[in-house]
Amino acid sequence: MNQAGAASAAKIFLVWAPLVAVAGCASSPDRPFQDLARAEASIEQADQSGAREFGADELDAAKAKLAKARAAADSDDNLEASRYAREAALDAELATAMARNRKAELAVEELNKGIETLRQEIARNQARSGERQ
């Protein structure tokens, strides 16, 4: 190969390499309908399972991310839209899990309180009927 040939080959490489590299990063997938739908469903479920009371921060984060996901999808940034939507769904699912856990813990407290009341009542009753005899 002569020197001129080598130089033009190098030029071609320099022009194409960055383009190939950029293409490697930003593929352009379709609008992530499924991810968006799952995020919407998870947020609705969280709303219904009392997450507004027991997982408010996570629920707010989910809603904010869903809005960002929609905006990204509208400007055709579908990879980013998919990430935001998936994170929104997980935020909402965490909010739901927190609400369920907190409710179960409250039920435990309630039950223990009930047992204590019962025990005191029985002790009082027995003391009273003991006096009668």
Partner 1 sequence: MIGRIVSGQRLRLAVVAGMTLVAAACTTTPERVAELDEARTTVESLESQPKARSAASSQLANARQALQRAEAAFEEGQPLEQIRHEAYVARRHAEIGLEMTSEAEAAEEIQQGEARRKQVQLEARTAEAERAQRLAEQRASQAQQSAREAVASQSVAEAAISEANRLADELNALEGELEAEQTNRGLVLTLGDVLFDTGGAELKEGAEVSINRLAAFLNENPERRLLIEGHTDSRGTDDFNKELSAKRADAVAEALVERGIPSERLRSVGLGEDYPVAGNDSAAGMQQNRRVEIVVSNDDGTFPASAEERAIAARD
Residues of the shown chain interacting with partner 1 in the complex, contacts defined by CB under 8 A: 17-18, 21-22, 24-25, 80, 83, 86-87, 90-91, 93-94, 97-98, 100-101, 103-105, 107-108, 110-112, 114-115, 118-119, 122, 125-126, 129, 133
Chain-centre distance of CA 32, in angstroms?
16
Question: At its nearest, how many Å lie between partner 1 and the CB of residue 82?
Answer: 9
Give dist(CA 98, CA 51) in Å, integer. 7
Give dist(CA 31, CA 38) in Å, integer. 14
Measured from the CB atom, the residue of 7 and 25 that comes closer to partner 1 is 25
Measured from the CB atom, the residue of 40 and 72 that comes closer to partner 1 is 72
Pair of tokens at residue 28? 């352009």
Measured from the CB atom, the residue of 47 and 80 that comes closer to partner 1 is 80
Question: At its nearest, how many Å lie between partner 1 and the CB of residue 83?
Answer: 5
With a CB cutoff of 8 Å and minimum separation 6, the contacts of 99 are 46, 49, 50, 51, 53, 54, 55
Question: At its nearest, how many Å lie between partner 1 and the CB of residue 3?
Answer: 20
Measured from the CB atom, the residue of 8 and 101 that comes closer to partner 1 is 101
Residue 50 burial by Cβ neighbours in a 10 Å radius (0-12, 13-18, 19+): middle
Question: At its nearest, how many Å lie between partner 1 and the CB of residue 43?
Answer: 14
Q: Contact at 8 Å (CB) between 29 and 79?
A: yes
